[in-house]
Amino acid sequence: MTPTAILDRTPVTLPSDQDATGRSLGQEELQLLAEVLASGRLTSTRGRFVNLLEQRFAALLEIPHAIACSSGTAAIHAAIAAINPEPGDEIVTSPITDMGAITPILYQGAIPVFADVNPDSCNLTAETIERVLSPRTQGIIVTHLFGNPSEMDDICALAKQKRLPLIEDCSQAYLAAVNDKPVGSLGTIGCFSLQQGKHITCGEGGLVVTHDPHLARRVRLFVNKAWGYGDPQPDHYFLALNYRMSELQGAVALAQLTKLENGIASRIRMAERLTTRLAGLPGIKTPHISFKHRHVYWRYTLRIDPDVIPGGAVALGKILSSFGIANAPRYIQKPAFHCEVIRNQATFGKSRWPFTMARPEAVRYDPENYAGVFKALSEILVLPWNERYREQDVDYLAEKIQEAVLTLQAGGV
Ligand SMILES: Cc1ncc(COP(=O)(O)O)c(C=O)c1O
């Protein structure tokens, strides 16, 4: 097809997860919300919907314990608090993730130590994690970025060998799987976000899952000011916050849960269609997926070779934007360790605590240790993805990407 032929198509407005066009909020949510309001019990300490959500989510993941909370950030915070590192202990994590997965480490007095990523997937690997382990490492957080699982066989083996708790950040990876087992159930603790843009949402919310009853109790206590609800002589046992989910959020999330699998199936079907449509387009790599993995396409990522497509991801993104197609070259503008909070150690007052306890080499962030991170960020172009995309939407996307590539190869806009 010539670029002119493509240009003749009427522009398509794609569904967005930021509003009703791309969300599946409807009668089911309204009905449960009405029940909550009619009951007059809006707190989960008295109501039943958050409790039901926890039971159903645990059943879905075939894991014994699920605890709801107020956000994905709260979920990560509760997971770290459950592990209970000593001040100055190190938690290995990714520099390509949401800041909500990193700041909780500092709030618990631990030091985030950043490992490099595999530029093909933007995920940590056992090899990059192992490189940054130290005698002070007390935990690992892996993020299954964009819905594509990390290489968990190797990472779980490493965590087991080193006896380190492994937190899986599944905020972007509901029902993603490795060897048919859902992420979140593979490590020590799994964390999920229910924020507006995730596979399912209740506006803000989070879920924590674990096989371990001791950790489950600590997580539940942590999101409840460490008050021992139900204990014979309850007390506030340790330093903790109110990170509870309300019944209103619980009702919406419970209804959303019933729609999760269909939404994911649709995301995968449409993503595979785009991959087929883009096959063979020079200079573009479609998502790299291991045969062991189920990628659930929170986002659809392209990697752009600037030697083949002049201007690379940024130039391609600019043309797509001019067509009205949302996209994010680089995904995040910079690795987490270049963000002010980490770079300036901007924590509590002027103290810089807990960075004051860090090993100097753990907080130096030498660029040569992050070749994968810089390569990944310079090549990636992230496209929003949605279960409401139809075949014609995906075909439109494919045509517009082809047109943008041809334009750049012909010498620019
Ligand atoms: C990978 C990842 N981790 C953690 C979070 C934090 O979740 P929340 O925004 O619900 O606090 C998000 C997203 O928002 C995320 O994408």
Strands 177-178 and 181-182 come out as antiparallel
Convert 222-243 to b/e letters by CB count within 10 Å (16 or more is b): bbbebeeeeeeeeeeeeebbeb
Give me ligand 1 centre to Cα 196, in Å.
10
The token pair at 364 is 């130096």
For the chain, residues with pLDDT lower than 70 are 1-10, 412-413
The confidence score (pLDDT) of residue 10 equals 63
Sequence-separated (6 or more) residues with CB below 8 Å from residue 368: none
Residues written for the chain: 413
Q: Give the closest residue (by CA) to ligand 1 atom 10.
A: 72
Residue 12: the pLDDT is 79
Ligand 1 centroid distance, CA of 221 (Å): 21
Residue nearest to atom 12 of ligand 1 (CA): 98
Convert the pLDDT of each residue in 123-178 to its tens digit: 999 999 999 999 999 999 999 999 999 999 999 999 999 999 999 999 999 999 99
Q: Which atom of ligand 1 approaches the CA of 206 most closely?
A: 10
> How far is ligand 1, taken at its centre, from the CA of residue 205, in Å?
10
Q: Angle, to 10 degrees, between the axis of helix 247-257 and the axis of helix 27-39?
A: 150
CA of 319 to the centre of ligand 1 (A): 29
pTM of the model: 0.96
> What's the 230 CA to ligand 1 centre distance in angstroms?
31
Please tell me the predicted confidence (pLDDT) of residue 9: 55
Cα-based distances in Å from 391 to 23, 146, 383, 395:
18, 21, 16, 6
Q: Tell me how crowded residue 392 is: count the other CB atoms within 10 A of its CB.
A: 10
pLDDT value of position 226: 98
Q: What is the pLDDT of residue 3?
A: 43
| Cβ < 6 A, ligand 1 pocket | 71-73, 97-98, 100-101, 143, 169, 171-172, 193, 195, 206
Return the CATH fold of 27-259.
Answer: Aspartate Aminotransferase; domain 2 (3.40.640)
